[in-house]
Structure 1
Amino acid sequence: MKVLSTSFGLPRNEGDPSSDAFAVRAWDQTVIAVLCDGAGTGTPAREAAQRAVSTLIENYSARPRSWDPPRALTEFTRILNRSFYQESIARYERPEMVSTLAAAVIEGNRLYGVNLGDSRISLWRNDRLFTLSEDHVDDDQRNMLTRALGMTEETTPNVFHIDLEDGDVALLCSDGLSNHLEPEQIDNALRQRSSARSLVHSALLHAKTETMDDISAVVLDIQKTGQLRAMSERALTIPETLAKGQVIDGYELIRSFQGTDRVWLAEKEHQRVVIKFAPVEATSSEPHLNAFVREAWNATRVQTEHFVRSHEPAGQTLRYYVMEFVDAPSLCSVLRERLLSVDSALALGHFLAEASQTLLRLDLAHGDIKPENILCAGDYARLTFKLVDLGSAVELFSISSRAGTASYLAPERFHGAPISERTEIFAIGVTLYQALTRKLPYGEIERFQTPVFSPARGLTKLNPNVPPWLETVVRRAITISPERRYQHYSELLHDLRNPAKVQPFFEHATPLVERISPRFYKVGFFLLLIANLILLLKLISTH
């Protein structure tokens, strides 16, 4: 396969940032091009366009093997749309992160596309220009979008495909180009194999002051198509029962984990691994199947030292994924025997914040941070950690997810608030509190309770080894008021790394006597002592 790509864009006003974003990536016999136009000139729209481009390309390049291109483009577009909408509501109380979307994927000899809004995808072939996408605009007011990323919580993207021929040319462009060039002009330019830069400058020449807009284009010159890759891999079945000694694709099942027969310790070629099988319900329930596919996808694309490494073996015959076996107890098991030292608790805090930042880069939140999902390796003096169970991982700002364990849920989650960095920080704080005291700051909470939260008892009263600055960090992480909590993982990490810069923090209900620094009492004591000595000396001199 031989595909030459060019891309270029110009902002509405020279020197200003553009609300358009675009990128192209190629690997093996796959090329993906994405172009987005933020709906407006504000920062949220520009951020939406940039994130949509990078996220869609990253997600597609790591798509679940069981999803064909149309399914992957549809699912990823819906995830992006819901994420932008819910984040807008959380941050701005109205849809602000809104963008058009035009994406084209070339695999072998076929082009797959998806679009929302009025950014177009066209194909030139044999002196004819075809528009493959749909314009989602109002019939009377053509500048009003009827569908776009982030405009509503749910949307239906336009998904299509077409077989390719050698010599075809695909064009992705924003409305800044399609509004200023006639189809005949675009047809003529593509006939001459014009670059994206040439097309954009041509549109700029035809633009008027009152119609000026950001202008962007991506041109894919398909000089030679590849052989269509075999997408019809053997369907993966889901076993109803599993038993010790059973051999699956070379893996021998040794024993089941976690009180379920869907997670097994297995061995292949003298190497032990953990295998997680899809639930039996996924055989007849598409939501269960989609949830497992997404879990496997999340697990296999998170490849850092903070997580257990996972993969889907080539040639597998059943629906499962494989994880490395880490022979280490959970933090929950460790805490049954002893508290963590202050140094180990600090290492745990750094680890959880960094692991959460890794997920953040994928627009994900773990959703169920707690001691049961943290493995502890090493000895008493030096512990290292692994975060497990990405089955609860969800997109940030998800409001439909019920992920999480009640005792670690931020108070606002009980009232329908979305999952965010600050709700995850609450779970990190509760975990640190428990690691240092073996107690939960707000006690055991049942899932269907609507608890009443009162300020937690101070850490130093339960563990005098905890330094005051660390108590302040944990107190701020688990504060009842979400506005006063750390808003971002980076803020939490900054304080963990810079004890001398930690600012005092108290709950609103904390008595004044506890808010005053001990240093105040010490200074006051010496000042009163000096005053009394002066008075005593005056009294003696008088007599």
Structure 2
Amino acid sequence: MKIRSSFHALPRDDERPSSDAVSLTSWNSSFLAALADGAGTAPAAREAAEHAVSLVATHFRSHPLSWTPGKALRETVRLINRTLWNESNARFGRPEMVCTLAIALYDEGFLTHLGIGDSRVYLLRGGELTQLTKDDIDPENPLCLTRAIGAEEELNPTTYKLSLEPGDILFLCSDGIHHHLSDDELKQSLLAETSARHIAKQARDASSDETRDDCAAIRIEIESLGWSERREDHQLPIPEKLASGQKHDGWTLLRSFGANDRCWLAEREGCRQVMKFAPLEAVDQPPITHAFLKETWNAVRFSSDPPFVKAWENPVRTSLYYIMEFVDAPGLANLLKQRRLQVDEAVQLGGFLVDACIRLLRHDLVHGDIKPENILIGSAYDSVFFKLIDLGSCCEVFSHHSRAGTASYLAPERFKNAPINECTEIFSIGVTLYESLTGQLPFGEIERFQTPVFRDPKPPSSHNALIPPWLDAVILRACSILPENRYSHFSELLFDLSNPQKVRPWHRDSAPLIERNPVLFWKCAAIFFAIVAAALAVQLATHQ
């Protein structure tokens, strides 16, 4: 996920430290924000606030794996409350280490929030500011808290859960801010992308000498949501045997797709869809379950993009699977067994693959396994369309640990553990186009365990005379053995596919000069013959 954040604890005056404390920690695609306001101005109150925010992240991250985020957060707050209560009584004989606490936790795909005292958590969504927490104050005496951390020996906190959306803004603040800035003023400041420090200063400047207080704030803007595993997904059963006629949540399995007996055409009430079940190995191998859940998330979040098949999760599923739309179109690999693609179809395929890769790259992802088996080709009136499938191989760009890909389509540097990037994906696109036009692989069949020796392939036009020279050059440059001779970015490949007249000729490094640069060759030849002629003329004149 991507967030933009700022946080600050501003003292009521510059002559003493703030009794408020803030912290923000993040890991993987999760974050935990905590804000505490010490009750009073004594050093013990400041200690309580600092202890509370430092202990939240420490204890939460060490919770038992069987606990949900909400339970882990509640137990963490109970522990902090007992710790402050016991320390206060040991040191002072009474509750002195007392503070409020507001927490916003994003984990396992949901926001869990909690408020103790009068520190608040707000959500700004679509221009509307909502207070998520409730103030624990006495209705008859607004200055008196009914609950606080460390005030009583036992505390029973309540947590609440909701979904976040890209563009949401979370705002945590102490009473020194919301007592002096109205909800409308807060909203306008958040919309104006004002930092937490400046909002705290606005509140302090708006207060009088009598009402001035410490001001603490945390501002978190959700730019994009990352993937986070949900505990309940790991508890879904994985069916061992799948067979025609079986029913799963109302869907009847009709037939499996090729050799993949975990991917089935299913029907319910006359509607046909595709159900993809988790691999059987996931039953006792959590990493495989993890990979399937991430594949599900990728399939669902990219389903609105035209290059990909629509996908969704059944909210009431009783086993681990996800659903995709049924596209009545053959795989490109099956089509190539019958015929090769025409030149205009191959150019369209190249543009389609580049477009799909650019969409993935906007999320810092690459497909990882581009090949005809993962491409559907269908017809619409007098044209064709394509769909890219199998996002299970998707990985972060520049990933070193990814083993995604099929050997015959892997760039040479991938066999030497080079990171996966745009350049390696372009190689796979080039090999796919070569095969689509010629029916042959440019470097032959390669097994994953091999250490292949790559040699410059023959031009595609030597197998298919209909391929124009410009497309020859594009494909050979895309699947060049040396990365430095290959297209570096998808945009470069897309430009050449869209502008045939501007494509530079391609020549292999070992090609003679007459092939690589015939103009320069004949210039050199002309100069050479001119020199020879001049030398002969001088020699002839000398003899006379």
Match of 1:163 among 82, 98, 114: 114
Q: In 2, are the aligned partners of 1:253 and 1:267 still within 8 Å (CA)?
A: yes
Q: Which residue is equivalent to 1:122?
A: 35
Matched, 1:443 2:483: no
Q: In 2, are the aligned partners of 1:238 and 1:278 still within 8 Å (CA)?
A: yes
Q: What is the letter of the counterpart of residue 29 of structure 2?
A: F
Q: Which residue is equivalent to 2:240?
A: 240
Q: In 1, are the aligned partners of 2:35 and 2:119 still within 8 Å (CA)?
A: no
The CA deviation at 1:508 is 1.6
| 2:261 alignment partner, SS class | coil
The CA deviation at 1:503 is 2.1
Distance verdict in 2 for CA 1:76–1:432, change over 3 Å:
same
Q: Which residue is equivalent to 2:271?
A: 271
Distance verdict in 2 for CA 1:521–1:382, change over 3 Å:
farther
Matched, 1:132 2:53: yes
Q: Which residue is equivalent to 1:90?
A: none
Q: In 2, are the aligned partners of 1:278 and 1:292 still within 8 Å (CA)?
A: yes
The CA deviation at 1:294 is 0.7
Distance verdict in 2 for CA 1:133–1:267, change over 3 Å:
farther
- Mind listing any 5+ residue stretches in structure 2 that lack a counterpart? 9-24, 58-104, 124-172, 203-215, 221-229, 530-544
Identity, % of aligned positions? 46
The CA deviation at 1:289 is 1.0
Q: Which residue is equivalent to 2:421?
A: 420
| 1:422 alignment partner, SS class | helix
Q: What is the letter of the counterpart of residue 277 of structure 2?
A: F
Distance verdict in 2 for CA 1:404–1:189, change over 3 Å:
same
Q: How does 1:163-202 map to 2 (within 5 A)?
A: 163-165=114-116, 167-169=118-120, 189-190=176-177, 192=179, 197=194, 200-201=197-198
The CA deviation at 1:254 is 0.7
**Alpha-carbon separation, structure 2, partners of 1:474 and 1:243:** 42
**Alpha-carbon separation, structure 2, partners of 1:458 and 1:388:** 29
Q: In 1, are the aligned partners of 2:423 and 2:489 still within 8 Å (CA)?
A: yes
**Alpha-carbon separation, structure 2, partners of 1:36 and 1:452:** 55
Q: Which residue is equivalent to 1:400?
A: 401
Summarize deviations over 1:40-92 as a string: whole Å, max 9, x none: xxxxxxxxxxxxxxxxxxxxxxxxxxxxxx9xx75426xxxxxxxxxxxxxxx
Q: How does 1:190-229 map to 2 (within 5 A)?
A: 190=177, 192=179, 197=194, 200-201=197-198, 218-219=218-219
The CA deviation at 1:200 is 2.6
- Mind listing any 5+ residue stretches in structure 1 that lack a counterpart? 1-20, 24-33, 38-69, 78-102, 104-112, 115-120, 137-157, 173-185, 206-215, 221-229, 529-543
Q: In 1, are the aligned partners of 2:119 and 2:174 still within 8 Å (CA)?
A: no
Q: Which residue is equivalent to 2:311?
A: 310
Q: How does 1:44-443 map to 2 (within 5 A)?
A: 74-76=27-29, 103=31, 113=32, 121-124=34-37, 129=49, 132=53, 163-165=114-116, 167-169=118-120, 189-190=176-177, 192=179, 197=194, 200-201=197-198, 218-219=218-219, 235-303=235-303, 304-378=305-379, 382-443=383-444
**Alpha-carbon separation, structure 1, partners of 2:294 and 2:490:** 24
Larger Rg: 2
Distance verdict in 2 for CA 1:253–1:454, change over 3 Å:
same
Q: In 1, are the aligned partners of 2:239 and 2:319 still within 8 Å (CA)?
A: yes
Summarize deviations over 1:142-161 as a string: whole Å, max 9, x none: xxxxxxxxxxxxxxxx9997
**Alpha-carbon separation, structure 2, partners of 1:335 and 1:132:** 61
TM-score (norm 1): 0.60
Distance verdict in 2 for CA 1:188–1:217, change over 3 Å:
closer
Distance verdict in 2 for CA 1:162–1:379, change over 3 Å:
closer
Q: Which residue is equivalent to 1:60?
A: none
Distance verdict in 2 for CA 1:291–1:36, change over 3 Å:
farther
**Alpha-carbon separation, structure 2, partners of 1:202 and 1:381:** 60
Mean CA deviation greater in 343-352 or 470-479: 470-479
Q: In 1, are the aligned partners of 2:35 and 2:174 still within 8 Å (CA)?
A: no
Q: In 2, are the aligned partners of 1:282 and 1:288 still within 8 Å (CA)?
A: yes
Q: Which residue is equivalent to 1:14?
A: none
Distance verdict in 2 for CA 1:234–1:416, change over 3 Å:
closer
The CA deviation at 1:504 is 2.7
The CA deviation at 1:359 is 1.0
| 1:281 alignment partner, SS class | helix
Mean CA deviation greater in 302-311 or 415-424: 302-311
TM-score (norm 2): 0.60
The CA deviation at 1:325 is 0.9
Q: In 2, are the aligned partners of 1:367 and 1:393 still within 8 Å (CA)?
A: yes
| 2:400 alignment partner, SS class | coil
**Alpha-carbon separation, structure 2, partners of 1:383 and 1:237:** 39
The CA deviation at 1:518 is 8.7
Q: In 2, are the aligned partners of 1:123 and 1:169 still within 8 Å (CA)?
A: no
Q: What is the letter of the counterpart of residue 318 of structure 2?
A: T
**Alpha-carbon separation, structure 2, partners of 1:431 and 1:269:** 38
